[in-house]
Chain A
Amino acid sequence: AQTVTQSQPEMSVQEAETVTLSCTYDTSESDYYLFWYKQPPSRQMILVIRQEAYKQQNATENRFSVNFQKAAKSFSLKISDSQLGDAAMYFCALNSWGKLQFGAGTQVVVTP
C-alpha cells in the first residue's frame, strides 16, 4: 500500500521569503514518480513540479525546488522568493503503478 503524509496543515511566509513544505511517503515500489500540485481557491489542480524516483538530481522549476531523499522517503518542496500568487493549498502525491495517492495538503499563506 502507498501512503503520503503531509504533517503541516498550514505554513505562513512573507513575500520574498522562502518556505519549505514537508512530505514523507511509503511505497514498496522502486520505480515511481512524486509530484507537488498547487490548488488555488479556483480548485484547479496545477502541477508545480515532478520527480522521478530513479533520478538522484533534485528537480527545479524556476522558484520551486525539491529535496528528494529516497532512502528516507522524503520529498520536500521549497518555494523561494514567495509571491502573493503562491498562496494556495499544496498537495504532495505519489504514483507507482496505477493509483495517484495524495497527502492531506498544506495551506500556504503569503503575507505582504
Chain B
Amino acid sequence: GAGVSQSPSNKVTEKGKDVELRCDPISGHTALYWYRQSLGQGLEFLIYFQGNSAPDKSGLPSDRFSAERTGGSVSTLTIQRTQQEDSAVYLCASSFSRDGYTFGSGTRLTVV
C-alpha cells in the first residue's frame, strides 16, 4: 500500500483479555518498529524487526507482550492479560533505510 496501515484504529478491551494489534508496512520496507505512546508522553520503543527477525526486543515491558512478523511484511503485537496501564497509543513504523521512517496512524488501546 501507499502508507503504513494499522488496525484497529481504536480498541476497547476488558482487563484480563488478550488483544492483537496489526501493522501492515509499506511494501518493500525491510525494517519495522513498534512504539507505545502514553497520553501526553513521548514514544517508548518496544521492538524492532529486520525482515522476520527481531534483533532488539529490549523495550517489551513484560512477558505479556509479544510480537511477530511473517513474510517480511505484516506484524502483529499481542498483549496478553491486559492491564489498565497498557492503555496507550501503539504506533508502528517501517523503513527501507536508516534515513526515512514512515509511521502509521496508530491504534488507541483502552483497557477498562
Least CB distance from B15 to A in Å reads: 24
Of the four ranges (under 10, 10 to 19, 20 to 34, 35 or more), the interface on chain A belongs to 20 to 34
Closest B residue to A43 using CB positions: B106
- Please tell me if the beta carbons of A52 and B99 are within 8 angstroms of each other in the complex: yes
Least CB distance from A48 to B in Å reads: 12
Tell whether A112 is near chain B: CB-to-CB under 8 Å.
no
Measured CA separation A33–B43 after assembly (Å)? 17
Tell whether B55 is near chain A: CB-to-CB under 8 Å.
yes
Contacts known (A43-B106, A105-B42); A100 close to B100, Cβ less than 8 A = no
Which residues, 85 to 107 on B, are CB-close (under 8 Å) to A? 89, 91, 93, 98-101, 103, 105-106
Residue from the list A50, A102, A104 in contact with B100, Cβ < 8 A: A50
- Please tell me if the beta carbons of A33 and B99 are within 8 angstroms of each other in the complex: yes
- Please tell me if the beta carbons of B45 and A101 are within 8 angstroms of each other in the complex: yes
Tell whether B18 is near chain A: CB-to-CB under 8 Å.
no
0 or 1 for each of A54-92: is its CB under 8 Å from B? (1 = yes): 000000000000000000000000000000000000010
- Please tell me if the beta carbons of B55 and A98 are within 8 angstroms of each other in the complex: yes
- Please tell me if the beta carbons of B42 and A100 are within 8 angstroms of each other in the complex: no
Tell whether A45 is near chain B: CB-to-CB under 8 Å.
yes
The residues of A with any CB-CB pair to B shorter than 8 Å are 32-33, 35, 37, 42-45, 47, 50, 52, 91, 95, 97-105
